[in-house]
Structure 1
Amino acid sequence: MMDYIVYDLEMTNRLSEIIEIGAVRLRMMNGELAVTDHFQSFVQPKMDSLNTRITNLTGITKKDLMNAQPFTTVIKDFKDWIGEGEYYLCSWGPEDKWALITDATFHNTPIDWIINHNDLQFLFSILHDSEKGFRYGLTRALNKLQISLEGSQHRALDDAMNTAKIFVSIHKEIKLEKNPNSFLESKIFEPEKLVYQSKDEEEDGTQSPFASLSKLFG
C-alpha cells in the first residue's frame, strides 16, 4: 500500500537548522485519500540558536527546544514512523528537502530514505498558472481552493495538515514523480524551482529565510 507523507519543517533564522518536524500520513481508503496518522517533534538545534523573530513567527520557545531530542534521534523516530513500505514524500516548496539533506549531512546520518520527493507548491502553481516569478504561498493556495486554514501558521504539524488538504483536493489533477536519492542530490539547487518569495509572503511582509538565495542566481 502506498503512503503519502506530507511533511513540514520549522527552522532557525540564521542557518535554517531544523527545530520542528510535523507530518501526516495519507492512504487511499475506499477510493479516497484520508489522513491515517500524524507525527510531530521538536528538534534541539546544534549549530544555531532560536531568536525572537522565529519565536514570534512560530510560537516555538527556547523551553520547547531545551527539552527536545537532537536531530539524530528525531530523524530516526521520523524514519521509523514512515515505515518500510512504499511512500512519497511531499512538502510545500523545496526548502524542506534542502534542510533535511543539509542537516542529515551535518549530523552524518543517511539520506537514502529521502526518495520520491515532490514539491506540492510547484505542482499547485503550475496547475493554477501562477504568475512568473512567484509561487502560491500556502495561505493563498488554501484561499484559491476555498479551504479554511486550521491551526497556527508556521507550526510544522498544522502546516502539514493544511498542505495535506490541498493535496487531497488536487491529487487527481497532478502526477507525483518517483525519484531516487541521487536525483535529490543533483537537483538540490534548481534555480527555476526555488521559492524566493511567495505572493502572500510579499503581501503580509513575511520574509522567507530562503529568499536571499535568489541573488545567487541573478
Structure 2
Amino acid sequence: MDYIVYDLEMTNRLSEIIEIGAVKLRDTEGKLQVIDQFQSFIQPKMDTLNTRIMNLTGITKKDVMNAQPFSAVIELFRQWIGEEEYYLCSWGPEDKWALITDATFHHTPIDWIINHNDLQFLFSMLHDSEKGFRYGLARALSKLEMTPEGSLHRALDDARNTAKIFATIFQQVTLEKNPHSYRESKIFEPEKLVYQSKDEEAGDNVSPFASLSNLFG
C-alpha cells in the first residue's frame, strides 16, 4: 500500500491549481518511509497570478507560463503514483475539491481520486478537537515540536511537512477507503465536519471553497 501525501497551490480569484507537490510513502514494518517525490508547476487557463499569491508562495508568472497545462501535469502525476494500491492524503479538504473541480473543468478523468483522506481532520480529532477548530500546518508542526522544512505555501515543502506529521500519527488513525462512486455521490455535498477555523499561515479566515464553483461557469 502506498500513501500519496500531496499539496496544491492555487490562484486567488478562481482557485485554479498552479503547483502540485507530493510525497510517496510506503508502510515498512509498521513505519512509513518516503520512497519518492513529485513537483510540477501548472499553467492556469483562465486565471492569472496576482501580487498576493506571488508574495505568499514565491511562485512567479514565469514559473507558470513555462509550465504544462493541467491535463498534461495530472497525467504525469497519475503515472508517478503508479499501479500500487494507494491512499490520497492532503492537509484539509480544499485540495480534493480543487482536483475534482479542475479535472472537471479540463475534461479529464476523476476516477483516480480515490481513498482520499483529510489528515488535518484526523490530526485535529487527536488534538484538542473539542475546541472546534482545525490545526493549520504550522501549528500542527509546532504542536509536535517539529521544525518546518522549506517554505510554507510551496507545494512540495508543504507535502513533505504534512508527510512528517502523518508518519507520527500513522499508528493512531484509521484511513478511510472511498471509491469513485462514493466521490461522485459526495461531489457537491459539504465535508462531514468543517471547523470554524482561523488559519494562522494564511492570515485570514476566507474560505477557499467560495471561488471553486466559478470554474464551472
TM-score by length of 1: 0.90
Question: What residue number does 1:74 align with?
Answer: 73
Can you give the 5+ residue segments of structure 2 that lack an aligned partner in the other structure? 212-217
> Paired residue for 1:40?
39
- Check the 8 A contact 1:93/1:195 in 2, yes or no: no
How do residues 1-218 of structure 1 correspond to structure 2 at under 5 angstroms?
2-188=1-187, 189-190=189-190, 192-194=192-194, 197-201=197-201, 205-210=203-208
- Residue 75 of structure 1 deviates from its aligned partner by 0.2
Deviation at 1:85, TM superposition (A): 1.3
Determine helix, strand or coil for the equivalent of 1:152.
coil
CA distance in 2, matches of 1:71, 1:199: 27
Distance across 2 between alignment mates of 1:23 and 1:83: 13
Q: Which runs of 5+ in 1 are unaligned?
A: 214-218
Q: CA deviation at 1:28?
A: 1.8
Structure 2: how far apart are the matches of 1:195 and 1:9?
20
Q: Whole-Å Cα distance in 2 between the matches of residues 12 and 99 of structure 1? A: 11
Sort the Cα spacing of 1:108 and 1:199 in 2 relative to 1 into closer, same or farther, 3 A: closer
Judged with a 3 Å threshold, the aligned counterparts in structure 2 of structure 1 residues 82 and 209 are, in CA distance, closer, same or farther, namely: same
Letter in 2 for 1:205: G
- Deviation at 1:129? 2.5
Separation of aligned partners in 2, 1:55 and 1:196: 27
| Larger displacement relative to structure 2 (176-185 or 114-123) | 176-185
Identity of aligned residues (%): 71
The CA deviation at 1:32 is: 1.7
Over the residues paired in the alignment, what is the CA RMSD in angstroms? Answer: 1.8
Specify the alignment match of 1:216 in structure 2: none
Give the aligned residue type for 1:147.
Answer: M
1:172-210 CA distance string (max 9 Å, x none): 000000011222233344255346634524xx7244552
Spell out, residue by residue over 1:5-56, the C-alpha distance to the aligned partner (whole angstroms, 9 max, x if none). 0000000001110000000000123442110100000000001111100000
Task: Tell me, in whole angstroms, the C-alpha distance in 1 between the residues paired with 2:184 and 2:124.
Answer: 23
- Distance of 1:44 and 1:196 partners within structure 2: 32
SS in structure 1 at match of 2:19 = strand
Structure 1: how far apart are the matches of 2:160 and 2:143? Answer: 17
